[in-house]
């Protein structure tokens, strides 16, 4: 091409001295700085999480007991894991955890969606509502757990009083006593506590949908429900996906809620309760650590599975 | 006599509130005497949290706390890390304490703690109602059941529809172990794990006991009881919703406090027995003081412990805070009785209180207890019949009883 | 016969009134274009017709039916949004079908309509694609298709082309024109690109701050603007305005002074007193290099822009006196004309071509001779 | 027609508000009762009393622990933001090998049950000589808050246009200046949100706070409340507990109310897009 | 003397090569425009010069210094982004100062430069405003100011006007041209609006898929496109292309058949065999209604777009035979010409005006006579 011909040939001047190059690289290399910037986070995490976690991994293969941690511990291989997997209580706990997580996350999502939709409307007193919705979130879990134990009480608990006043129940229900109602009661507390977070995330998602897509839909269809199910829902799917993962991670690790409301009780316990009991109350640090590792693996694989499952939708919008 | 050197002590006693104050004043007195400064660490209210924390500290050989206030069931767990008192304290001094308490604090020939104050389950009843229906305080569990039924029905008929017969600590936690142990023991069903390490729980008498109580759930015992700990039970009883209640002596003062619905209408008695004339059982509760093996000033620490558990200090505590002394002499002491007339009856209760199988099972106690209360809870809530439930429990315990040597 | 009628409509957002007591008749089977500067209320009016906004007062009629209380979906309008507003999660086919399903048409009918629309818009190969797999022009066509398939009484376009690049815009412009003609549909078209306005419109409505300034056929509005605003708004490059002063001559006749020397004679029925400040407007294409013409503008060339087929010459007029503000004019001349920057130049014009505006902007009826 | 809709809508709103606020309201009611009233159900306390508040506020150790909580939570969110903004820059705007691996690792930290790291951390803390210090607590909380802080911030940074950064590069900014002089001012909403999330997390944490503090002058609020007790070990002073709960909850509610707008916008550009 | 030189540069993103072995000389004190369809690599090349992207191979010289390893900041380039990329949290003054601070200039100097730039760009009244308080045009000027104050060796513009509306764009276009001339600076200007290209450029570089198609002065490129792509890319409406067939006549002479009847005689040095398919291109402005001209295109009018000052007439050509595909041409005619849609029309053109392209697009040297 004639352009090429007309290019003058300059000598390629001697590149800057090694030192200058190095200095420049130090000053401007993005990758270098990327790692520098990551350092604090990584170091912190390695210290506060990595090291303890590795410790846990190690102990899970030993017969360590809480009170003899630094005395010599002996390597027992997979014995602890075997012990747990052959313990019926573990499986009960696992089932409870799954049931709990599933129920609460589903309910939270539905409720949160509803609230988000309301918050997304323009109406008087909207910011008041938004504020009100955030209240439960701001209350420390330990405290809200106490509050609810208080309200659940069968004799002088307000819930029974209310239900009976409304004629929903004929006689006081002992919510926390029988496994059936206990699970339900716990889910309600968790839903109450974490729905705001859900609602906020989903609201955020809703506000990402361009206004005119809604308007187009209004012209295309008279029924709000069709618009919701055919347009809104698909468009906030990615958001919901993210929200669900955040919540599921927490729900699967739920601890203080159960701990405060019903204590260490096998038939309504969760895996974390199980782990704590083994670690702290039974001194069996090896077994407890093994349990923790199992929980980690369980949640981890769950997360990966989930991420993989929602990947396609996430690319959509 | 320890001299005022650089040593400084940290003691964990009580938590906030009255308990804390009284503990404090005792310590101050000692500090004044010896000139050794003492820091008071108030520990978590929930004894599970408390134990966990102590384990962390001791496990890490920490010298942060010199003197621990430990529950009767902990000596077995913590023994390794606690100082031995045998050599420090004269046999005479030891013998002045209630035997059960001392026995409880001995772990393989080491006296790891000195008893500080004791506790035991008692039966509260609505004196007014018994009077009203001309009934007397029941002496056996069956009797109590029927009495409760009668009064409950009558009361309900006469409008108080939310009246129940009996409340206890039915939540799945240590408290239930105490309750259940009382039932079993009072039927002569042993103490779950016998002193010789044998697992004894699966026997007809124990079964009888559990079955009886379980049969009450929903009839005279409100279902909610299965999630009660001490305070919930007290709440129910104090608001006049129950005729009988199993609880610790602490409730007495509160039940008779200002604004209490049942003020002056309450009576207290030893818990019923299984058969007529059978043994009455109260689970041994209470707290002892132990010195950490990692304390930097063991001499001072031991001295403080001895001071706090001494007769005069316990007397003061009994008078000021009605803490039940572990020195039985004090139960006949005029001044003490003047302040707590109840001690007359309680003495009996405490003297033959049943210790939980903590001594033998040692570090495994918590597990034993948890398995026990879970089994009982399932029986009470009817998710499983008592028979199979106890059978499984037996197998479970045996499985890690290490052939009775634990 | 009228297809859309607005009677004294006003639109308030909170306290601010955006559209003021506006009345308008939109003939059927014609394309009416709303033009006006940004923020003048074009979209708002359109949205009021569609029912996406409620009018604060006044009535909206579609096919002689008052639709103030009718939901958008039932008004029988099809709208094409500036941003297309396609449903990102549906492919082209589904995008078009969505509206039809809610009309409850038989499957076959639906399919037929979509096929047809796709064919008309040359979208058939893309029916299975998702919007983000389409080019700008294709998305634009899908947006139209979505309106099309519902066979609405009125089409509403809100700057449908403004997101396309120049070349594509020209292309789509012609397509829209053709399409509309072939359908013989009624349409209202909002734009602030006045080339679109001129080429597409059967009728132009020039808006300004929520009021109608002028309406009429494109050429009429272009050649007989009722005031300075309209004159300046249409045409690119915009009309040139040169300040001048009136001197009353004999009866019905007057003189216009603008630069040194030769004033222009003209006759008018309007009455004014001598010395009134006015502006006269002349369009770039009406300025030529021709010393014989009666009107002449002297000045210095300060920029020459050569487009391949023409050249835009920017002239800085010599000022009558230093007090006068600087005035520049643009002339559209043949591309091969010779003229250097910073040289003096005189541009001639035919006085009949120019318009007189009073200081407050309204046009002064006049005929030069 | 419209009426019905409006009424139904506001009914729904009321319902939501009730569900959200009632438990807190009940806590307030309870905190105003004393003695046996506690065990009676009254929608409005018949004989309200401030005695609980008085007793709480007069125990200086409680006020101390409120202060501690503020310090710890504040410091935690501050540090978390500081280091998260740095790392989120690397993770959102720089292409380098192993990026997604780092991301996943960070995320995986929040998959471990807190209890699992407890005693490992206990040793660490003692080893660093941070046992029974507020700074030690702050340090531990990093494990809790860093993962999602980084996550949210990263999402937000992604949404900042590339050109802005390039303009800064042409203006001679190294990455440090880009982050602190160009991005930082733009991230106020994100900082508000993330900061608040971190603050709440730290404010509410119980297990670590319980295990890593000893003396009552180092305790944080949740622990302090857990320590509240009546005359003897079994007695639970519900009145005091509720009073305390109300006291410690109010500041959070305050914060949330102040930041609510930012919270939403922050999440919009952060978590969701992320 | 050359200010920017690209020698055999190539740019890969991952595996895909976007720019292929491209060499180019950018003269100093001249404005070079890159034009080309979207995605052809204009921005990428610009960013390689600025150093925002590293070239995968080849060398970049600025003022005869190889800058491949020099960081962007030190290359002495000033860039204006399409989205302006102003720092939202800084006011105008701070926006301009930010870059100067890192140059480590004395305070006074900095202040002076900013004042000057502000004055040139008429931004002085707005120095204290934040970007979001400015109009599009003002923001655009701030973006330029930010480049200006650093007194770079080369200005780089990436579609600086494409976010402005039509009117403003015209205005800014002239401003940029004036400014650059007065500064006598070197500039590279990316756009895909070819009016900008034509009017601003001293030299146009037409790009396509990462390769240079043609470079030269605007008018040269406009009137002598080397191939069909360039021809079709410049000019709006675009050049018309009419399919035809070559018949070899005597030595160096040939005939072009395109519609029924009268073929066109022309002479060429190129060799081809008779019957080759070709296209000939003719620009809209070169079609007139004039039966005397040697070239004539018969067809049916299917659309007339009247812009006030001109009319675009779209003609559907009569086909030589039914097998032939439909061809449409556009003519730019005076606005007042009379012609009805669907009437037959014959458009004349001067054969000298038209270009012959072989089927693969390259131009066939030829002179009609
Ligand atoms: N929802 C609303 N709330 C408040 N003001 C609004 C709203 N919608 C539009 N406006 C105001 O109404 C005026 C007209 O807006 P509109 O969109 O109709 O202008 P437009 O003519 O369409 O402008 P453009 O050509 O830029 O689209 C603007 O000043 C705008 O600020
Ligand atoms: N960072 C990148 N990674 C991968 N591909 C890229 C990247 N940047 C640009 N491209 C690709 O390089 C090609 C040229 O991009 P470029 O932005 O230079 O085109 P352009 O000529 O500027 O187009 P436009 O006129 O739309 O700005 C495009 O196909 C684009 O997809
Ligand atoms: Mg608009
Ligand atoms: Mg580009």
Pocket test for ligand 1, best of C11, C13, C16, C160 (most atoms within 8 A of CB): C13
Neighbouring subunits of E (3+ Cβ pairs under 8 A): A, C, D
pLDDT at D274 over 60: no
Query: Do residue A3 and residue E59 have CB atoms under 8 angstroms apart?
Result: no
Q: Name the residue at shortest CA distance from atom 24 of ligand 1.
A: C38
Least confident of B141-145, E58-62, E69-73: E69-73
Structure tokens at A276: 């704590």
**DSSP strand pairing (E295-307 vs E344-349):** antiparallel
Query: Do residue A13 and residue E66 have CB atoms under 8 angstroms apart?
Result: yes
Structure tokens at D29: 């009611």
pLDDT at A27 over 80: no
Pocket test for ligand 2, best of E12, E39, E158, E190 (most atoms within 8 A of CB): E39
pLDDT at C175: 83
- Quickly state the pLDDT bin for B6 (edges 50, 70, 90): low
Structure tokens at A17: 């001295």
Query: Do residue A15 and residue E215 have CB atoms under 8 angstroms apart?
Result: no
Task: Give the ligand whose atoms come closest to the C-alpha of residue E48.
Answer: 2
pLDDT at C76 over 80: yes
List pocket residues of ligand 2, CB cut-off 6 Å. E 13, 18, 36, 38-44, 192
Interface with B, mutate which of D136, D140, D211, D235 (most B CBs under 10 A): D235
Least confident of A5-9, B370-374, C72-76: A5-9
- Quickly state the pLDDT bin for A315 (edges 50, 70, 90): very low
Q: What average pLDDT score do residues B151-179 get?
A: 91
In total, the C-beta contacts within 8 angstroms joining chain A to chain D are: 270
CA E148 – CA E96 distance, rounded (Å): 9
Q: What average pLDDT score do residues B367-374 get?
A: 90
SS3 D42: coil
Nearest to D186 among E89, E98, E146 (CB): E89
Which residues of B sit within 8 Å Cβ distance of D?
Answer: 14-19, 39, 41-47, 49, 52-53, 56, 59-60, 62, 64-65, 229-231, 234-236, 238-239, 247-248, 250-251, 253-254, 257-261, 287, 321
CA E78 – CA E85 distance, rounded (Å): 13
Say whether the C–A interface has 3 or more Cβ pairs within 8 Å: yes
Phi, psi of D171 (to 5 degrees): -85, 10
Chain D: closest CA distance from residue A1 (Å): 32
- Quickly state the pLDDT bin for B2 (edges 50, 70, 90): very low
Residue A21, chain E, CB below 8 Å: the answer is: yes
Interface with D, mutate which of A62, A67, A132 (most D CBs under 10 A): A132
Comparing alpha-carbon positions, the chain D residue that sits nearest to A270 is D113
Instruction: Compare A29 and C44 and report the one with higher pLDDT.
Output: C44
pLDDT at A243: 82
Query: Do residue C178 and residue E303 have CB atoms under 8 angstroms apart?
Result: yes
- Quickly state the pLDDT bin for D270 (edges 50, 70, 90): low
List the C31-35 sheet strands across, edge first: C77-80, C154-158, C186-190, C31-35, C203-208, C211-216
Could you tell me what percentage of chain C is helix, strand and coil, using 3-state DSSP and rounding each to the nearest 5? 25, 35, 35
pLDDT at B3: 47
Q: Name the residue at shortest CA distance from atom 4 of ligand 2.
A: E13
- Quickly state the pLDDT bin for A41 (edges 50, 70, 90): very high
Convert the pLDDT of each residue in D158-205 to its tens digit.
888 888 999 998 888 888 889 999 999 888 878 887 888 899 889 888
Comparing alpha-carbon positions, the chain A residue that sits nearest to D24 is A136
Residue C102, chain A, CB below 8 Å: the answer is: yes
Q: What average pLDDT score do residues E287-314 get?
A: 86
Residues in chain A closer than 8 A to C97 (CB atoms): none
Query: Do residue D172 and residue E102 have CB atoms under 8 angstroms apart?
Result: yes
Among C243, C248, C241, which residue's Cα sits nearest to residue C275? C248
Q: What average pLDDT score do residues E102-107 get?
A: 88
The alpha carbon of C283 and the centre of ligand 3 are apart by a number of angstroms equal to 28
pLDDT at C184: 84
pLDDT at A317: 33
Residues in chain D closer than 8 A to A300 (CB atoms): 108, 111
Question: What number of CA atoms fall less than 13 Å from residue C21's CA on the CB side?
Answer: 0
Q: Which segments of B159-309 are extended strands (E)?
A: 164-167, 242-247, 266-269, 284-291
The alpha carbon of E19 and the centre of ligand 2 are apart by a number of angstroms equal to 10
pLDDT at D261 over 60: yes
Residue D126, chain B, CB below 8 Å: the answer is: yes
pLDDT at A70: 59
pLDDT at E204 over 90: yes
Comparing alpha-carbon positions, the chain B residue that sits nearest to D36 is B260
User: 């003297």: which residue's tokens?
Assistant: B351
Residue A53, chain D, CB below 8 Å: the answer is: yes
Query: Do residue D172 and residue E99 have CB atoms under 8 angstroms apart?
Result: yes
Paired strand residues for C265: C255
Phi, psi of E358 (to 5 degrees): -75, 170
The alpha carbon of C136 and the centre of ligand 2 are apart by a number of angstroms equal to 16
Let me know: does C239 contact E309? Beta carbons within 8 Å. no
Convert the pLDDT of each residue in C123-134 to its tens digit.
999 999 999 888
Least confident of B236-245, B294-303, D109-118: D109-118
Residues in chain A closer than 8 A to C47 (CB atoms): 215
Instruction: Compare A109 and A22 and report the one with higher pLDDT.
Output: A109
Q: What angle do CA E205, E208, E213 make, to 5 degrees?
A: 50
Q: What angle do CA C358, C360, C365 make, to 5 degrees?
A: 30
Q: What average pLDDT score do residues C112-137 get?
A: 90
Instruction: Compare B371 and D115 and report the one with higher pLDDT.
Output: B371
Query: Do residue E306 and residue C192 have CB atoms under 8 angstroms apart?
Result: no
Q: What average pLDDT score do residues A93-97 get?
A: 92
Q: Which segments of chain A are extended strands (E)?
A: none
- Quickly state the pLDDT bin for A316 (edges 50, 70, 90): very low
- Quickly state the pLDDT bin for C182 (edges 50, 70, 90): confident
3-state secondary structure E138-167: HHHHHHHHHHHCCCCCEEEEECCCCCCCHH
Convert the pLDDT of each residue in A147-191 to its tens digit.
888 888 877 788 888 888 888 877 778 788 777 788 889 999 999
Residues in chain B closer than 8 A to A263 (CB atoms): 48, 171-173
User: 């569900």: which residue's tokens?
Assistant: D19
Q: Name the residue at shortest CA distance from atom 9 of ligand 2.
A: E44
Let me know: does C46 contact C17? Beta carbons within 8 Å. no
CA E228 – CA E358 distance, rounded (Å): 9
pLDDT at B4: 45
Q: What average pLDDT score do residues A135-155 get?
A: 82
- Quickly state the pLDDT bin for B159 (edges 50, 70, 90): confident
Cite the DSSP H helix spans in C104-193.
107-120, 136-148, 166-183
Convert the pLDDT of each residue in E21-62 to its tens digit.
999 999 999 999 999 888 889 999 999 999 998 899 999 999
Paired strand residues for C205: C34, C215
- Quickly state the pLDDT bin for A6 (edges 50, 70, 90): low
CA A16 – CA A83 distance, rounded (Å): 66
Q: What is the ipTM of this complex?
A: 0.79
Q: What average pLDDT score do residues C227-235 get?
A: 89
Residues in chain A closer than 8 A to E45 (CB atoms): none
Distances (CA, A) of C36 to C193, C211, E166: 9, 10, 13
What does the mean pLDDT of chain B come to? 88
Convert the pLDDT of each residue in D63-84 to its tens digit.
898 999 999 999 999 999 999 9
List pocket residues of ligand 1, CB cut-off 6 Å. C 13, 18, 36, 38-44, 192
Convert the pLDDT of each residue in B19-54 to its tens digit.
778 888 999 999 999 989 998 887 777 777 788 888
pLDDT at E9: 94
- A191 dihedral zone (left: phi>0; alpha: psi -120 to 50; beta): alpha
Residues with CB under 5 A from ligand 3 (ion): C 43
Nearest to E85 among D164, D173, D177 (CB): D164
Q: Name the residue at shortest CA distance from atom 16 of ligand 1.
A: C41
Among D171, C233, C139, which residue's Cα sits nearest to residue A216? C139
Index of the ligand 1 atom closest to the CA of residue C40 = 21
Residue A210, chain C, CB below 8 Å: the answer is: yes
Say whether the E–B interface has 3 or more Cβ pairs within 8 Å: no
- The residues, ordered by sequence, that sit 6+ positions from B318 with a Cβ below 8 Å of its Cβ are B324, B325, B330, B336, B339, B340, B343
Task: Give the ligand whose atoms come closest to the C-alpha of residue C158.
Answer: 3
Q: What is the full DSSP assignment across D189-251?
A: HHHHHHHHHHHHHHHH--HHHHHH--SGGG--HHHHHHH---SSTT---HHHHHHHHHHHHHH
Q: Name the residue at shortest CA distance from atom 7 of ligand 2.
A: E13
pLDDT at A246: 78
Nearest to D182 among E73, E82, E87 (CB): E87
- Quickly state the pLDDT bin for E1 (edges 50, 70, 90): low
């Amino acid at each position: 091409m004639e352009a090429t011909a007309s290019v003058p040939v300059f000598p390629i001047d001697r590149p800057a001295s090694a030192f200058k190059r190095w200095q420049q690289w130090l000053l401007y290399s993005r990758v270098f700085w990327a790692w520098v910037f990551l350092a604090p986070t990584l170091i912190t995490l390695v210290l506060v999480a990595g090291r303890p976690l590795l410790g846990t991994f190690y102990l899970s293969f030993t017969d360590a007991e809480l009170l003899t941690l630094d005395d010599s511990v002996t390597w027992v291989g997979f014995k602890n894991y075997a012990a747990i997997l052959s313990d019926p209580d573990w499986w009960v706990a696992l089932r409870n955890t799954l049931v709990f997580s599933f129920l609460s996350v589903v309910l939270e999502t539905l409720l949160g969606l509803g609230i988000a939709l309301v918050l997304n409307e323009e109406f008087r007193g909207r910011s008041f509502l938004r504020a009100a919705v955030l209240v439960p979130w701001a209350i420390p879990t330990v405290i809200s757990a106490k509050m609810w134990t208080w309200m659940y009480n069968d004799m002088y608990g307000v819930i029974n009083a209310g239900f009976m006043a409304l004629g929903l129940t004929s006689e006081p229900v002992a919510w926390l006593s029988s496994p059936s109602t206990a699970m339900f009661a716990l889910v309600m507390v968790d839903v109450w506590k974490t729905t705001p977070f859900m609602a906020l995330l989903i609201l955020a998602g809703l506000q990402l949908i361009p206004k005119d897509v809604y308007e187009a839909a209004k012209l295309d269809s008279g029924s709000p429900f069709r618009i919701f199910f055919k347009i809104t829902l698909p468009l906030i799917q990615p958001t919901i996906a993210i929200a669900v993962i955040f919540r599921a991670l927490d729900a699967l690790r739920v601890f203080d809620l159960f701990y405060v409301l019903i204590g260490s009780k096998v038939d309504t316990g969760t895996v974390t309760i199980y782990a704590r009991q083994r670690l702290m109350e039974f001194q069996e640090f090896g077994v407890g650590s093994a349990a923790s590792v199992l929980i980690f693996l369980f949640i981890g694989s769950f997360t990966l599975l989930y991420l993989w499952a929602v990947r396609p939708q996430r690319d959509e919008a | 006599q320890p001299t005022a050197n650089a040593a400084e002590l940290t003691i964990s006693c009580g938590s906030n509130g009255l308990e804390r104050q009284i503990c404090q004043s005792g310590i101050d007195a000692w500090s004044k005497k010896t000139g050794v400064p003492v820091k008071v660490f108030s520990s978590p209210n929930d004894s599970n949290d408390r134990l966990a924390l102590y384990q962390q500290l001791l496990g890490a050989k920490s010298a942060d706390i010199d003197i621990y206030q430990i529950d009767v069931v902990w000596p077995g767990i913590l023994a390794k890390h606690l100082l031995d008192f045998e050599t420090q304290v004269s046999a005479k001094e030891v013998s002045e304490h209630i035997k059960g308490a001392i026995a409880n604090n001995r772990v393989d020939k080491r006296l790891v703690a000195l008893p500080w104050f004791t506790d035991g389950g008692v039966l509260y009843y609505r004196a007014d109602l018994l009077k009203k229906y001309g009934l007397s305080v029941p002496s056996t569990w069956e009797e109590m059941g029927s009495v409760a039924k009668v009064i409950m029905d009558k009361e309900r008929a006469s409008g108080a529809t939310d009246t129940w017969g009996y409340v206890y600590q039915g939540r799945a936690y240590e408290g239930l172990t105490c309750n259940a142990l009382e039932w079993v023991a009072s039927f002569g069903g042993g103490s779950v794990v016998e002193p010789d390490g044998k697992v004894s729980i699966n026997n007809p008498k124990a079964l009888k006991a559990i079955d009886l109580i379980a049969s009450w759930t929903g009839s005279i015992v409100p279902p909610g009881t299965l999630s009660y700990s001490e305070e919930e039970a007290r709440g129910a009883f104090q608001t006049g919703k129950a005729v009988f209640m199993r609880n610790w002596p602490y409730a007495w003062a509160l039940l008779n406090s200002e604004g209490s619905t049942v003020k002056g209408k309450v009576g207290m008695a030893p818990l019923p027995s299984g058969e007529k004339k059978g043994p009455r059982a109260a689970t041994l509760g209470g707290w002892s003081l132990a010195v950490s093996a990692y304390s930097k000033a063991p001499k001072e620490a031991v001295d403080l412990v001895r001071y706090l558990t001494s007769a005069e200090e316990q007397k003061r505590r009994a008078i000021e805070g009605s803490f039940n002394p572990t020195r039985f002499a004090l139960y006949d002491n005029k001044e003490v009785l003047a302040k707590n007339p109840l001690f007359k009856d309680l003495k009996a209760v405490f003297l033959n209180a049943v210790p939980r199988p903590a001594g033998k099972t040692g570090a495994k106690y918590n597990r034993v207890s948890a398995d026990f209360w879970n089994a009982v809870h399932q029986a009470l809530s009817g998710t499983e019949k008592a028979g199979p439930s106890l059978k499984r429990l037996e197998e479970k315990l045996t499985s890690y009883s290490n052939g009775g040597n634990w | 016969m009228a297809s859309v009628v607005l009677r004294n409509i006003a639109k308030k957002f909170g306290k601010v009134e955006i559209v003021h007591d506006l009345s308008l008749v939109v003939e059927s089977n014609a394309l009416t274009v709303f033009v006006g500067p940004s923020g003048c209320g074009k979209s708002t009016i359109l949205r009021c017709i569609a029912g996406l906004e409620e009018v604060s007062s006044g009535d909206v009629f579609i096919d002689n039916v008052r639709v103030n209380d009718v939901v958008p979906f039932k008004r029988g309008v099809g709208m094409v949004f500036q941003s297309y507003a396609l449903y990102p999660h549906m492919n082209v086919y589904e995008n078009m079908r969505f509206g039809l399903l809610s009309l409850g048409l038989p499957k076959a009918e639906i399919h037929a309509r979509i096929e047809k629309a796709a064919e008309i818009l040359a979208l058939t190969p893309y029916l299975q694609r998702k919007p983000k797999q389409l080019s700008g022009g294709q998305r634009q066509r899908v947006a139209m298709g979505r309106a099309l398939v519902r066979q609405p009484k009125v089409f509403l376009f809100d700057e449908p082309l403004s997101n396309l690049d120049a070349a594509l815009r020209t292309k789509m412009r012609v397509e829209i024109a053709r399409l509309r003609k072939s359908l013989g549909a009624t349409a209202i078209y909002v734009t602030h690109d006045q080339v679109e306005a001129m080429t597409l419109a059967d009728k132009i409505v020039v808006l300004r701050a929520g009021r109608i300034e002028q309406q009429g056929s494109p050429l009429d509005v272009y050649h007989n603007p009722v005031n300075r605003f309209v004159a300046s708004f249409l045409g690119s490059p915009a009309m040139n305005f040169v300040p001048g002063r009136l001197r009353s001559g004999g009866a019905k006749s007057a003189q216009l002074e603008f630069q040194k020397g030769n004033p222009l004679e003209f006759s008018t029925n309007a009455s004014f007193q001598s010395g009134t400040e006015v502006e006269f407007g002349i369009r770039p294409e009406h300025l030529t290099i021709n010393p014989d013409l009666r009107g002449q503008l002297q000045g210095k060339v300060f920029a020459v822009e050569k487009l391949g087929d023409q050249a835009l010459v920017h002239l800085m007029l010599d000022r009558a006196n230093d007090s006068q503000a600087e005035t520049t004019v643009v002339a559209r001349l043949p591309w091969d004309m010779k003229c250097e920057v910073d040289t003096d130049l005189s541009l001639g014009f035919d006085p009949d071509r120019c318009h007189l505006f009073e200081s407050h902007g309204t046009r002064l009826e006049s005929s030069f001779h | 027609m419209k009426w019905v809709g409006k009424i139904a809508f506001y009914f729904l709103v009321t319902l939501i508000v009730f569900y959200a606020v009632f438990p807190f309201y009940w806590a307030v009611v309870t905190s105003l009762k004393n003695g046996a009233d506690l065990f009676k159900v009254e929608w409005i306390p018949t004989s309200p009393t401030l005695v609980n508040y008085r007793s709480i506020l007069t125990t200086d150790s409680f006020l101390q622990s409120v202060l501690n909580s503020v310090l710890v939570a504040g410091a935690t969110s501050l540090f978390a933001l500081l280091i998260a903004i740095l790392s989120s820059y690397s993770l959102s705007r720089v292409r380098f090998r192993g990026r997604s691996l780092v991301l996943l690792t960070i995320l995986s930290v929040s998959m471990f049950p807190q209890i699992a790291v407890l005693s490992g951390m206990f040793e660490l803390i003692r080893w660093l000589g941070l046992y029974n210090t507020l700074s030690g607590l702050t340090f531990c909380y990093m494990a809790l808050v860093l993962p999602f802080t980084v996550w949210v911030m990263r999402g937000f940074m992604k949404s900042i246009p590339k050109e802005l950064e390039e303009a800064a590069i042409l203006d001679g900014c190294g990455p440090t200046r880009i982050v602190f002089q160009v991005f930082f001012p733009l991230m106020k909403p994100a900082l508000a949100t993330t900061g608040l999330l971190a603050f709440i997390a730290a404010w509410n944490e119980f297990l670590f706070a319980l295990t890593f503090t000893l003396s009552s002058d180092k305790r944080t609020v949740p622990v302090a409340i857990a320590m509240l007790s009546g005359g003897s070990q079994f007695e639970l002073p519900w009145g005091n507990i509720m009073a305390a709960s109300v006291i410690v909850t109010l500041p959070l509610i305050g914060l949330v109310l102040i930041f609510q707008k930012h919270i939403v916008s922050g999440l919009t550009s952060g978590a969701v897009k992320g």
